Amino acid sequence: MLKLSLAPAAAAAAACLLAAGAAQAQTETPAADNITATHEEDGRYYTADDIPTFHIADDGTVDWLTYSGYRRYHSECHVCHGPDGEGSSYAPALKDSVMQIDYYDFVNVVTNGREHVDSSNTNVMPSFGDNANVMCYLDDIYVYLKARGSGELPRGRPEKHDPKPDSVRAAEKSCLGL
Amino acid sequence: MTKLLYLSTAILVGGTVAASANADLQKMMDDPNQWVIQTGDYANQRYSDLDQINKDNVGDLQVAWSFSTGVLRGHEGSPLVVGDVMYVHTPFPNTVYALDLNNEGRILWKYEPKQDPNVIAVMCCDTVNRGVAYADGKIILSRADTVVDAIDAKTGKLVWSVTNGDPSKGETNTATVMPVKDKVLVGISGGEYGVRGYVTAYNLSDGSMAWRAYSTGPDDEMLVDPEKTTQLGKPVGKDSSLNSWEGDQWKIGGGTTWGWYSYDPDLNLVYYGTGNPSTWNPSQRPGDNKWSMTIFARDADTGEAKWVYQMTPHDEWDYDGVNEMILTDQEVDGQMRKLLTHFDRNGFAYTLDRENGELLVAQKYDPAVNWATEVNMDPDSDQYGRPQVVAEYSTQENGEDVNTTGICPTALGTKDQQPASYSPKTQTFYVPTNHVCMDYEPFMVSYTAGQPYVGATLSMYPAPNSHGGMGNFIAWDNINGKIKWSIPEPFSVWSGALATAGNVVFYGTLEGYLKAVDADTGDELYRFKTPSGIIGNVMTYTHDGKQYVAVLSGVGGWAGIGLAAGLTDPANADAWQKAAGRASTGRELGSEERNVATAGLGAVGGYAALSDYTALGGTLTVFQLPN
């Protein structure tokens, strides 16, 4: 099995690499299931294709990354994209976007931004490539939005969540340069 | 309206060679037939002496004509009418149209500045712009990218242009400008990007800078005199701002100036408020964070601060102090006073003496407000003038990474920038308000120039134990600090009000209704659904002796972000409030009774999605009585 051993904390550093790799990823056969977690590593969950994903236990407890993504989304993304990934009067509902584009496209757009300006549109997504508050939590935000888009996580703050894994704590520290 | 066709072409714009630009402008403001600056007049009363349309006939109102702006995003502010020309602005790209009222609104000229679209990405909450101002034969446009353009009002040609800020650092503009004497005052936005706020006066003749005053930092850069500048009657002392921050944090400390400006010609003082301190995480910036969240009174010629009053020291909730300062002369305890009334985001309505900054009244203008019990009014207390914060709702006290729940009002405030109106006839203020509460969880963030610098997670829901709606339109008595009447609204009221001598008060709603109510009772007299939600301000004017009422539709702004998909289902919110509260703070959150009441709000439709009612689209709608 191909092991994509990219820790989320390293995402910022590897962002350019990822963006470059996106084209290659698109040529591969799309995954049969881009949602279901098949394995766990230090509190992070992955699909069969090693794409980060969420995990919600039978009692509703969400994994740490999903909970963290909820918080980061509502700090960094919500001011344009609206509460709970639902979209605003002008910015798309990201809970739907993440179901339509793959992980690498997601990383690419967040890192490099996107512009759609013509006679009827004035939509500009900024590039967050040098924003540690976003880049250090890319996977968190991604899995949170996937949980929302899949319909498995209702609106609002997740009720219960796993504790913060030590490996995540360490990766966060090094990513933020603390 | 074919009648308009036969009117002779009149002079487009009033005399530009008047001896004094200021006297000229004052005269035009006093003329109720025109609307020459966004606030109507320097006092920010948004009151018109026109009474052709009155409470007896307003029910007959009909649409005279309409105009599409060609832009889809949120439309704040209003058109101007100068002589026989109407000036209409848009959100980014900040196009300005001059429409010929003698010729059925034919476009005389169109001005579209060339702006780098990257500025859109650093505007925190939609690309709104609160409109142009007229002065000295020019239309003054303060663009999104902070460039200020002075455009010849007759020809639409650029006269001068000056750059007020740097969007690469997150400095942008959404506000209108205020022309005063031979200068024009310009503010700055970017409190969510760690921008250090300032207000700048440019010379109307050529755009050269006359003075600039920062909200934070060293005394000389704030134009604050340690001995002469007072707060509540006492000199502020040396380094009043520097002493209230840790280290150099004031340099990225916010206090932006994106609200409204007013001016008292007799006192020669200009008034405005400053925004939130950056970041939204209070634990990261110990101290009072002066002079964020502050009312400033400055000399119009020199910019020197005469008095200040900080309403929310060490903000923990994003309660920007930028809302308008409404100037009135009223009797208090048998004595005529020069008053300043301000409806703050923090939910308190303040009445001050605008000459010396004395605090006369500070009362909640929404009973839901709970983050503070009161503002201390005892001059002998060390708490004088300070809000008395309730520990349960203190995001500082509860700390980082703790979700503080049930705070009222939400960060949008009991009222945001949408301006209130005052009728001297009824001595009443008419105030568009939000009726929304929030959970607020601050956490550590790092600063990067030009990137968001927020540091808190928010979720919002309609005020518990109330009517389930997200707004009210209220009548306020500023002398006694009391609500006279209140109209519940399903959504926040995000439109500026207009009161007239016809005893009618107009306002717009987020679903798109223009409403007219009785100034005495609040009874609804008229409503019309315009093409899109209204976040613009209602204005009135006459043309050829006939009164018109006009408003911009075009949903967006903060309302379009927060309410487009509706707020969180309160029933669900309640469940996780309890769970999260226990998990993260170990404390119970309020009584079972409150929780049940919160959950019950869903039935009233309090979390309805705005997108079920209206869609994007910038349109001007002009109303008249039937011929």
B445, two tokens:
């963030």
Judged against a pLDDT cut of 60, whether residue A12 lies above it is answered with: no
Is position A125 within any domain? yes
State whether residue B616 sits within 8 Å of chain A by CB.
Answer: yes
Looking at residue B198, its pLDDT comes to: 98
Residue ranges of alpha helices (H) inside chain A are 11-27, 64-72, 78-81, 94-100, 103-112, 132-135, 138-149, 166-176
Token pair for residue B41? 């007049």
Other CB atoms within 10 A of residue B492 CB: 32
H helix or E strand, kind and range, residue B185: strand B183-186
For residue B26 the two structure tokens come to: 């004052």
- ipTM, two decimals, is 0.80
Interface of B with A in 546-605 (CB under 8 A): 555-556, 560-562, 564-569, 572-573, 575-576, 579-580, 583
Portion 66-125 of A in contact with B at CB < 8 A = 70-72, 74-76, 78-80, 82-84, 86-91, 93, 113, 115, 117, 119-125
What's the total number of domains in chain A? 1
**A60 shares contact with chain B (CB less than 8 Å):** no
CB B75 within 8 A of CB B69: yes
B556: tokens are 């967006």
- Residue A29 resides in a domain: no
Tell which B residues from 353 to 382 touch A, by Cβ distance under 8 Å: none
**Across the interface, do B117 and A122 touch by the CB < 8 Å criterion?**
yes
A28/B604 Cα distance (integer angstroms): 50
**Mean pLDDT of all residues belonging to chain A:** 84
B570 φ, ψ (degrees, to nearest 5): -60, -30
Cβ contact, residue pair B455, A75, below 8 Å: yes
For B371, the token pair is: 């983050």
Looking up residue A65, the CATH number of its domain turns out to be 1.10.760
C-alpha to C-alpha distance for B567 and B350, rounded to whole angstroms: 29
Q: How far apart are CA B281 and CA B226, in angstroms?
A: 29
Q: Pairing mode, if any, of strands B47-48 and B498-500?
A: parallel
Q: Find all residues with CB under 8 Å of A29, minimum gap 6, and list them.
A: none
Structure confidence by residue, pLDDT tens digits, A13-65? 333 333 333 444 444 454 458 899 999 999 999 999 999 999 999 999 999 99
- How far apart are the C-alpha atoms of B509 and A46, rounded to whole Å? 46
pLDDT at B291: 98
Q: For residue A85, give the chain B residue with the closest CA.
A: B565
A117 within a domain of the structure (yes/no): yes
What SS3 class is residue B427? coil
Known catalytic membership, residue B84: no
> What pLDDT does residue B20 have?
62
Which residue stretches of chain B have pLDDT < 70? 1-21, 568-608
Q: Decide if A24 is inside a domain.
A: no
Residues 393-432 of B with CB under 8 A from A: 403
Please check whether residue A158 lies inside any domain of the structure: yes
Give per-residue pLDDT as tens, B386-400: 999 999 999 999 999
Cβ(B77)–Cβ(B537) below 8 Å: yes
pTM of the model: 0.89
CB contact under 8 A, A89 and B74: yes
B564 vs A89, A127, A158: nearest CB: A89
Among residues B369, B274, B357, B260, the alpha carbon closest in space to that of B321 is found at: B274
- What's the whole-number mean pLDDT along residues A80-88? 91
> Cβ contacts (< 8 Å) between B127 and chain A: which residues?
122
> CB-CB: which of B120, B451, B572 is closest to A122?
B120
CA dihedral (B137, B143, B145, B151) in degrees, to 10, reads: -30
Say if the Cβ atoms of B556 and A154 lie within 8 Å. Answer: no
CB-nearest partner of B561 from A88, A124, A154: A88
**Active-site residue identified among B41, B318, B416, B439:** B318
Nearest to B163 by CA among B208, B222, B210: B208
* A21 domain-assigned: no
Q: Which amino acid is at B293?
A: M
Whether residue B532 contacts residue B615, with contact meaning beta carbons closer than 8 Å, is answered with yes
* CB contact (8 A) between residue B126 and residue A89: yes
In A, which residues are within 8 Å of B91 by CB distance?
122
Q: How far, in Å, CA of A46 to CA of A22, rounded?
A: 18
CB-closest option in A76, A130, A132 to B454: A76
The token pair at B502 is 């016809």
Give the minimum alpha-carbon distance from B547 to chain A in angstroms, rounded to a whole number.
33
Count the Cβ atoms, other than its own, within 10 Å of residue B301: 15
Which of chain A's residues have a Cβ under 8 Å away from the Cβ of B555?
89
Q: Which of A72, A89, A160 sits opposite B579 (nearest CB)?
A: A160
A3 pLDDT band (50/70/90 cuts)?
A: very low
Lowest mean pLDDT among A4-8, A52-56, A72-76: A4-8
Query: What is the model's pLDDT at position B506?
Result: 99
Task: Closest CB to B564: pick one of A70, A82, A134.
Answer: A82
Nearest-angstrom CA–CA distance, A85 and A127: 18
pLDDT at B124: 73
List Cα–Cα distances, A40 to A50, A166, B13, B324, in angstroms.
10, 14, 72, 54
- Measured CA to CA, the distance from residue B554 to residue B131 in angstroms comes to 14
Q: Report which of A161, A149, A8, A176 is spatially closest to residue B455, judged by C-alpha positions.
A: A176
- Lookup: tokens for B344: 């703050």
Facing residue for B117 by CB, picked from A89, A115, A154: A115
Checking if the pLDDT of A148 tops 90, the result is yes
Q: Does A75 contact B457 at a Cβ distance shorter than 8 Å?
A: yes
What per-residue confidence (pLDDT) applies to A20? 39
**Interface test with chain B among A59, A74, A88, A131, by most B beta carbons within 10 Å:** A88
SS3 B529: strand
Structure tokens at B304: 């020197």
Distance CA B292, CA B308 (A): 11
Q: What residues in B contact A71, CB-CB < 8 Å?
A: 441, 443, 457
* Cα B147 from chain centroid (whole Å): 21
Count residue pairs from A and B with Cβ separation < 8 A: 137
Q: Is the dihedral of CA B430, B434, B437, B439 positive or negative?
A: negative
Using a CB-CB cut-off of 8 Å, the residues of chain B touching A123 are 120
pLDDT at res. B459? 84
* Structural domain harbouring A97: 8-13+53-176
Q: How many CA atoms lie less than 13 Å away from B521 in the CB half-sphere?
A: 5
Cβ–Cβ below 8 Å for B562 and A159: no
Q: Place A6 in a pLDDT band, splitting at 50, 70 and 90.
A: very low
Residue A96 domain-assigned (yes or no): yes
A132 chain-B contacts, CB cut-off 8 A? 446, 448
Flag whether residue B117 sits within 8 Å of chain A, measured between CB atoms.
Answer: yes
